[in-house]
């Protein structure tokens, strides 16, 4: 069990004070911590580059464990600490839908967030108590059962990161979890929307080639670790063949931007129950750790005009660009 600091807190003096307590707790009690920069923009006094977005932290680190985080907050309050206990959505997401995670202190075990504290007063209430009591305070926290914890390498987040890193060596831009483009100026033209979200998009400008990858991992279902539903996986991968929805200068541009579409699972064995069915589709099959299972065919629905519009407006997708040889030209 260790501490995670989603840095930085927006006040420098509070940020420095948090790091002081984290160092003291590690020195005295041997409780380790990691600093995870999440701010997508730079601050004059904070030079570390963001490793992950606040949106991803909210969706993948906090939201899945909302009930556990709330239960542990209540446990500490009953133990005498003055904390603000609320659901993850109420605490970290505003009524307008804005997500605020930077500055949060979390307690983590086996990549599961057991506790998440956002406000200055409760952060130092907890850190002071932990400095006094050490491991005995953490022992109060409720934990998930080991059998229900998915190994990090089998989670979709880890697989996406692994594939994006590999693709960045040969593609100019690699985008992750793509929903829709941002407005250009005061107009939303073109409007480009991926539904369902595109897990990975890789662009090679010289070859005029765009590939899409639907990524599926393992999940915990009532204490049992299972691979993501195959019907969901097939359906979402098939949608890449006609994605995205594009409206440009009042005209609906039909067809897909993807030359190739892939479906990815962690292991080759994950395809055994439906590999034969997938042979009649143009979709390629990829094992994240064991390589290609089936090569993709050319997407019959690819539209060169749709590709052109997408590539011309790639800057409006800058928030999704996480890798690639030319990523810094846009970011």
Percent of the chain with pLDDT over 70: 95
* 134 and 61 together in one domain: yes
Strand ranges for the chain from DSSP E: 2-7, 33-37, 105-109, 112-117, 173-180, 191-204, 209-215, 218-221, 224-227, 245-248, 251-253, 260-265, 284-287, 291-294, 321-323
pLDDT of residue 224 exceeding 70, the answer is no
Percent of the chain with pLDDT over 90: 79
Q: Please state the rounded mean pLDDT for residues 195-220.
A: 95
* 249 and 129 together in one domain: no
* 204 and 120 together in one domain: no
Q: What is the pLDDT of residues 72-99, one digit of tens each?
A: 999 999 999 999 999 999 999 988 889 9
* 183 and 324 together in one domain: yes
Q: How far apart are CA 75 and CA 289, in angstroms?
A: 40
* 54 and 196 together in one domain: no
Q: Please state the rounded mean pLDDT for residues 301-324.
A: 96
Question: What total number of domains does the chain contain?
Answer: 2
* 207 and 289 together in one domain: yes
Q: What is the pTM of this model?
A: 0.58
Q: What is the DSSP string of 173-231?
A: EEEEEEEEPPPBTTB--SEEEEEEEEEEEEEETTTTEEEEEEE--EEEETTEEEEPPHH
* 138 and 111 together in one domain: yes
Q: What is the pLDDT of residues 297-308, one digit of tens each?
A: 999 999 999 999
Confidence at residue 146, expressed as pLDDT on a 0 to 100 scale: 44
- 8 Å CB contact between 146 and 156: no
Q: What is the pLDDT of residues 99-147, one digit of tens each?
A: 999 999 999 998 899 999 999 999 999 999 999 999 999 999 998 654 4
* 187 and 207 together in one domain: yes
* 305 and 163 together in one domain: yes
Q: Taking all residues of the chain, what is their mean pLDDT, rounded to a whole number? A: 92
Q: Which of these three, 127, 144, 161, is where a domain ends?
A: 144
* 169 and 302 together in one domain: yes
Q: What is the pLDDT of residues 50-72, one digit of tens each?
A: 889 999 999 999 999 998 999 99
Confidence at residue 222, expressed as pLDDT on a 0 to 100 scale: 57
* 111 and 217 together in one domain: no
Confidence at residue 150, expressed as pLDDT on a 0 to 100 scale: 78
Extract the tokens encoding 265. Answer: 């699972």
Q: Side by side, which strands form the sheet with 33-37?
A: 33-37, 2-7, 105-109, 112-117
Print burial letters for 125-135: b (CB count within 10 Å at least 16), e (below 16).
bbbebbbeeee
Confidence at residue 144, expressed as pLDDT on a 0 to 100 scale: 66
pLDDT of residue 186 exceeding 80, the answer is no
Compute, in degrees rounded to 10, the torsion defined by CA atoms 51, 57, 61, 64: -160
Full residue range of the structural domain in which residue 323 is found: 152-330
* 6 and 125 together in one domain: yes
Confidence at residue 58, expressed as pLDDT on a 0 to 100 scale: 94
Confidence at residue 282, expressed as pLDDT on a 0 to 100 scale: 97
Q: Which of 25-39, 179-193, 307-321 has the lowest mean pLDDT?
A: 179-193
Residue 8 backbone dihedrals phi, psi, to 5 degrees: -100, 165
């Amino acid at each position: 069990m260790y501490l995670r600091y989603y840095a930085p807190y927006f006040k420098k003096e509070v940020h420095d004070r948090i790091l002081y307590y984290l160092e003291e707790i590690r020195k005295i009690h041997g409780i380790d911590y990691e600093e995870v920069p999440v701010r997508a923009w730079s601050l004059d006094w904070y030079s570390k580059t963001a490793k992950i977005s606040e949106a991803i932290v909210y969706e993948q680190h906090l939201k899945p464990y909302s009930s556990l985080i709330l239960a542990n907050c209540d446990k500490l309050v009953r133990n005498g600490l003055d904390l603000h206990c609320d659901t993850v959505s109420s605490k970290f997401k505003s009524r307008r839908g804005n997500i605020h995670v930077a500055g949060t202190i979390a307690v983590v075990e086996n990549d599961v967030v057991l506790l998440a504290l956002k406000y200055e007063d409760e952060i130092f209430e907890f850190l002071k108590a932990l400095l006094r009591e050490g491991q005995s305070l953490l022992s109060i926290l409720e934990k998930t059962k080991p059998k229900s914890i998915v190994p990090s390498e089998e989670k979709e987040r880890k697989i996406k990161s692994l594939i994006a890193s590999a693709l960045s060596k040969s593609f100019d831009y690699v985008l992750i979890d793509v929903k829709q483009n941002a407005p250009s100026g005061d107009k939303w033209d073109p409007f480009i929307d991926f539904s369902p979200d595109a897990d990975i998009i890789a662009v090679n400008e010289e070859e005029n080639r765009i590939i899409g990858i639907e990524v599926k991992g393992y999940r915990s279902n009532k204490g049992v670790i299972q691979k993501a539903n195959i019907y969901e996986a097939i359906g979402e991968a098939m949608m890449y063949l006609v994605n995205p929805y594009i409206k440009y200068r009042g005209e609906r541009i039909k067809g897909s931007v993807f030359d190739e579409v892939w479906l990815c699972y962690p292991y080759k064995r994950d395809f055994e129950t439906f590999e034969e069915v997938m042979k009649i589709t143009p979709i390629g099959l990829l094992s994240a750790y064991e390589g290609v299972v089936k090569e993709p065919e050319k997407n019959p629905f690819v539209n060169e005009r749709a590709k052109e519009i997408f590539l011309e407006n790639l800057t409006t997708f800058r928030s999704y660009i996480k890798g690639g040889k030319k990523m810094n030209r846009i970011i």
